[in-house]
Structure 1
Amino acid sequence: EQGLTALMSFAGDSGPKRYLFLSQNPDEVRPTGGFIGTYGVLTAEGGQLTLERYDGIEEWIIDHPRAIVPQAEAGSPFRHRDPPIPRTIANVNSIPDWPRAAELAARLWKDGGEAPVDGVISFTPGFLARILSVVGPVSIPSYNETVTAANLHDRLDFQTHRATPPTGARAKDFVAVVAETIMQKLLEAPASQWEPLGSVMGQAFDAREALAWSTDPQVTAALADRGWDGRFRSTDGDFFYNSEFSYAAKNGRGIRRTYDHNVALRADGSARVTTTVTVTNTLPPDPLNASTLAYLTLYGPKGAVVDQAASDGFGFAEPALAGHPAVAWFRAAAPGGGQATVKVVWEVPGLVKKTSNGELEYSLLWPHLPDHTGDVVNLSVDLPATWTWKGSPPPSQFSLDQEFSGSWRLASGD
């Protein structure tokens, strides 16, 4: 019932609504997915949805030069870079929390003189590919292209990074044309496709290939209940998230990260947690792939304190998010075909928790980077001498093609 009420409200049942759509490009990695390259405005009234306009974000920024975050408030990836770079609507997602990013996008949108919006929705190419898997291929005559679910990523990469754009067009205009065409086909889909479309869209939100924020409390509650609001994930147990902000390179899909995560538990339930991040640049050297230079913000377990002497030297202490402490580097600058590493060591009190029935438990939550594959975690948990696992231990390796979470019971031997 909550979901139905929220859906009716979103669709303008109680009055007209306006939504800002923002596309994220994982080739330029950002904490919630990727650089925001295109935008659209969707209106809703009485259950009717209309795509009012769609365009490249660069054009909007040029036309609205005052819609910018003051440099003192811009955030570390912008202020600490030399020279500093501006924070515009294209980079509101420099922290891994979509509600905060979306609120900032709505503010900048209004600061630019646009009519206020009732929500901000983002999507990645993965979301568009899921839609195409139901509605079928789309033709893009101006580029002599037919885009399918299978070739979407390749065609986006070729037209935006390799091909010469048509006269008068920018390289990223292709993304706007494709996204607008797919969104229009989605809105015009026949009733026979509604159920499969609902299914793949739900899968996209579950995978964080789509994120949504709304000013409507009912819609906000429904999104949060389903985990579709893109809020920063949080837990009381072990935790790690690599919040990555890349600079200039277009190599996101060729980057592979291996995390060697060692947890040395102590008899009092505390732990020393060491994570080494190895970034591998699988693509050959190229003007679009100079390196993997990024501003890395690594979030650890609640209550953890970084061991600065044991960790790689870092220059910036970042504010905690949802209780999770963070440290940051300008690092991981692996050249084409190369590797780079960074290590962080945390001292964590009370990492092992007691369940409601008094059993000891180790748990781990590791959010994944949306619309990205190939990252892997190697996990090792060292137990005190008398401790054992009750049942199966944690896996020694797992994929980050999706979020990972789990909990495992322990016997102390006392």
Structure 2
Amino acid sequence: MPMRSRHSAHGRAARSAHRTKPNHAGHKGTKALHAGKTIGLIIGVLLAALVVYAVMLLNSARILKTELEQAVQVATSSNITADVSNGQNDDQFSKIKNIVPELQEHTGAARKQADGAVWRIAMAFPYIGDDLTAARTATDAFDTLAQQALPGLIEAAETMQQSGLSNGDGSFNVKSLDAVSSKIGGANTVLQQQVTALHQTPEPHIGQVRDALKTGTGILDSLAGTIGSYSDTVTSLNAMFGHSGTRHYLILSQTNAETQSAGGVVGSVGTVTVSDGKVTLGDFYSDSKFVMTESVKATDEINKMYAISRLGVPYGGDIRLASATPNFPEGAAYAKEVWAGQSFGSDDIDGVLSFDTAALQSLIAVTGNITLSTGQTLTADNTAQYLSNQVYIDIPSPEAEDQFFEESAQRIIGDALSGINADKAMKLVGILPKMAQERHLYLWSFDKDDQPALRAAGMTGELRQQKASPVTGVYVNEMGWTKSDWYVQRAATIKRTSVSKNGAASYHVSYSISNSMTEDQAKSLPQYITGTFPVDMINQLVGQAQLPDDEKTVVDAAISGLTQPGVVGHSLAIAQPAGGKISNIKLTSDSPTQVQPAQTAFDKFTSNGVTYWVNLATLISPGSSATLEYDVTTAEGSSPLQFDQTPTAGAPKVTYDYQQ
């Protein structure tokens, strides 16, 4: 075999060495290429994942939106809000029961979406996170309404029907009442927590979400408010009547014909005994059968509020004045002490119930018409007018009038509290909150354990004193001893004039009082309506006070005006809100009987933590009117000012202008 050339071998080695020499630039390029492909792949995967997530989120949002819209549609088309508000018989609660499963189906499906991981992740996103959080909170609230609150209400109604709220002998079934209170109370607590959380969510950015949430919140607020009222009312009834053992309550029947701060002058008084749920109504006594007692020791608030007492007149305990303070627990304590001083009274009173003529009319709507021994039939349409006005025309004898008031109060209240069944109970639950809100009804227990439930239901007639929720009020005490207040119209306007950066606000309150009685009516109506002012008695009392000459001149002028037929003489009291201030009080009138110093001078006093501004008397002749104006400044960070007042004969006329 021929030998290869050394040169050839060397050349091949050189070429081989050349081929295997590292190419650093090419290697780096390959790495970059691979890294770029990896990053691109990752980005692609992330983009794909985001697209998939976005599709999932949009699909979830679509499902949630559809289900919530259908739930709202079910609630509105079935008129469930009205049915719950007016749920007074089986048919209405059956309607509610029938639509609840459909409502639960939609709210449950919506909540399933909002509770899912897709939705929860999106809630952390900027901008839309607030919108999704608000939507989820609304979904939770709607589902709580459908799954717990409405079933709790239905179950409570069914418990009343099946177990019976009555034992069959007219007595309350104490165990049943307690069970009903627990069922509806538990469901209501959860619902109110959800609604509160909904109101605390940030405002959505997206207009459609914001509008939808506004609609849904409105429905939830309405239903939650009504269910809350039902729960609170049942709980308050349980507090008063659900005890084992024996309780004795005083019942005050007020007549709005002669206005007092808490309603009307107390015309008749009776008792009710509740023994292990069994209700026994005692006799009623007209105010004319009461004797004056020594000065009441339980409270001096009425002495501070009532104009005669503020003149320094030594006025004793008079049952007619138990409603002279708007703070009903003080009036209840006053009535309890006066009752104990009567020959027919007792010192074992555990609480006080009070009803005015409007409340009695509402009770008749529950119990049905009654025909009295006079032949007069009282109905759900004529009771307030008859007891406040017509009775004085039809029955001219004061003694016969007293007998009529005793009988009517005993019959109406007795029918409402005895023979309780589920139907009557639900009707009572439906009307009591509104009566209490408008100050036609009060319930007060001297047992401190009962008081929280009564306060929660708004039944106590106490003046709210919270800086965060300011309330001002105007309260009226009739000083003329007339029964003319049926002819008086009152209206209030509360206008916000400014809001500071710290949240404090200023308001202007205007309160008008008009005497619609005509001059002809003042001449033709019975004297018991137009005025029976006891001049001699008042002069004797005022004489004991030994007033300075200038004050006595004012008092004499007021007495002279109060003797004119049809003149109403209102002593006005303004309540100052907690943490706020009252200023610029002004009272103007076109009445020919007005007495300037008596109506324009307002004195200041404080009782039970409430500051009042009171005048002596505002005299308003037939066909005349007076206007009280004042400014209010509320505390920092408080909610809008609310207005309270002595109950009116018709619907309250209060206008709020908070545009500022």
User: Is the deviation greater in 215-224 or in 230-239?
Assistant: 230-239
Q: Report the secondary structure of 2:615's partner residue.
A: strand
1:388 equivalent in structure 2: none
Summarize the alignment of residues 209-224 of structure 1 with structure 2, pairs less than 5 Å apart: 209-224=440-455
Task: Please state if 1:259 is matched with 2:536.
Answer: no
After TM superposition, give the deviation of residue 106 of structure 1 in Å: 1.2
What is the alpha-carbon distance in structure 2 between the residues aligned to residue 265 and residue 319 of structure 1?
27
1:297 to 573, 580, 600: 573
Summarize the alignment of residues 373-412 of structure 1 with structure 2, pairs less than 5 Å apart: 373=650, 375-380=652-657, 393=659
Summarize the alignment of residues 14-413 of structure 1 with structure 2, pairs less than 5 Å apart: 14-59=244-289, 61-62=290-291, 65-66=292-293, 68-69=295-296, 73=300, 74-77=303-306, 78-80=308-310, 86-112=316-342, 114-141=346-373, 143-158=374-389, 160-165=391-396, 169-189=399-419, 191=421, 192-236=423-467, 238-247=470-479, 248-265=481-498, 267-269=500-502, 270-285=504-519, 286=522, 287=527, 288-289=529-530, 290-307=566-583, 311=586, 314-320=600-606, 324-346=610-632, 348=633, 351=635, 353=637, 363-373=640-650, 375-380=652-657, 393=659
Q: Report the secondary structure of 1:333's partner residue.
A: strand
Larger Rg: 2
After TM superposition, give the deviation of residue 121 of structure 1 in Å: 0.7
**Deviation sequence 1:325-383 (CA, Å, 0-9, x none):** 3211134322111112233344x3x6452xxxxxxx751211243353355345555xx
What is the alpha-carbon distance in structure 2 between the residues aligned to residue 172 and residue 25 of structure 1?
12
1:27 to 1:260, Cα distance in 2 relative to 1, 3 A: same
What is the alpha-carbon distance in structure 1 between the residues aligned to residue 383 and residue 477 of structure 2?
24
What is the alpha-carbon distance in structure 1 between the residues aligned to residue 625 and residue 273 of structure 2?
46
Given that residues 135 and 193 in structure 1 are in contact (C-alpha distance below 8 angstroms), is that contact kept between their aligned partners in structure 2? yes
What is the alpha-carbon distance in structure 2 between the residues aligned to residue 163 and residue 83 of structure 1?
36
What is the alpha-carbon distance in structure 1 between the residues aligned to residue 427 and residue 508 of structure 2?
44
Q: Report the secondary structure of 2:436's partner residue.
A: helix
Q: Report the secondary structure of 2:263's partner residue.
A: coil
* Number of residue pairs aligned between Structure 1 and Structure 2: 367
After TM superposition, give the deviation of residue 233 of structure 1 in Å: 2.5
1:182 to 1:380, Cα distance in 2 relative to 1, 3 A: closer
Given that residues 156 and 174 in structure 1 are in contact (C-alpha distance below 8 angstroms), is that contact kept between their aligned partners in structure 2? no
After TM superposition, give the deviation of residue 165 of structure 1 in Å: 4.8
What is the alpha-carbon distance in structure 1 between the residues aligned to residue 500 and residue 242 of structure 2?
57
**Deviation sequence 1:194-225 (CA, Å, 0-9, x none):** 33234334443344321111122332221112
Identity of aligned residues (%): 20
After TM superposition, give the deviation of residue 126 of structure 1 in Å: 1.9
1:219 to 1:324, Cα distance in 2 relative to 1, 3 A: closer
Given that residues 67 and 88 in structure 1 are in contact (C-alpha distance below 8 angstroms), is that contact kept between their aligned partners in structure 2? no
Q: Report the secondary structure of 1:29's partner residue.
A: strand
1:5 to 1:134, Cα distance in 2 relative to 1, 3 A: closer
Aligned alpha-carbon RMSD (Å): 3.1
AA at the equivalent of 2:304: G
What is the alpha-carbon distance in structure 2 between the residues aligned to residue 8 and residue 134 of structure 1?
19
Given that residues 295 and 329 in structure 1 are in contact (C-alpha distance below 8 angstroms), is that contact kept between their aligned partners in structure 2? yes
Report the TM-score, using the length of structure 1 for normalisation. 0.77
After TM superposition, give the deviation of residue 29 of structure 1 in Å: 1.2
What is the alpha-carbon distance in structure 1 between the residues aligned to residue 463 and residue 581 of structure 2?
20
1:29 to 1:146, Cα distance in 2 relative to 1, 3 A: same
What is the alpha-carbon distance in structure 1 between the residues aligned to residue 372 and residue 268 of structure 2?
17
What is the alpha-carbon distance in structure 1 between the residues aligned to residue 375 and residue 473 of structure 2?
41
What is the alpha-carbon distance in structure 2 between the residues aligned to residue 96 and residue 238 of structure 1?
16
Given that residues 275 and 343 in structure 1 are in contact (C-alpha distance below 8 angstroms), is that contact kept between their aligned partners in structure 2? yes
> Could you say which structure has the greater relative contact order, defined with CA pairs below 8 angstroms and 6 or more residues apart?
1
Given that residues 303 and 324 in structure 1 are in contact (C-alpha distance below 8 angstroms), is that contact kept between their aligned partners in structure 2? no
Given that residues 257 and 389 in structure 2 are in contact (C-alpha distance below 8 angstroms), is that contact kept between their aligned partners in structure 1? no
Higher relative helix content: 2
What is the alpha-carbon distance in structure 2 between the residues aligned to residue 307 and residue 368 of structure 1?
19
1:68 to 1:165, Cα distance in 2 relative to 1, 3 A: farther
1:83 to 1:97, Cα distance in 2 relative to 1, 3 A: closer
Q: Report the secondary structure of 1:93's partner residue.
A: coil
**Deviation sequence 1:63-94 (CA, Å, 0-9, x none):** xx335438x95224232359775541221222
Q: Report the secondary structure of 2:452's partner residue.
A: helix
Report the TM-score, using the length of structure 2 for normalisation. 0.50
After TM superposition, give the deviation of residue 249 of structure 1 in Å: 2.1
What is the alpha-carbon distance in structure 1 between the residues aligned to residue 437 and residue 631 of structure 2?
31
AA at the equivalent of 1:176: E
AA at the equivalent of 2:650: T
AA at the equivalent of 1:252: D
Higher relative strand content: 1
2:12 equivalent in structure 1: none
**Deviation sequence 1:39-86 (CA, Å, 0-9, x none):** 111111121100121121221x23xx335438x952242323597755
What is the alpha-carbon distance in structure 1 between the residues aligned to residue 462 and residue 611 of structure 2?
16
Structure 1 unaligned blocks of 5 or more: 354-360, 382-392, 395-414
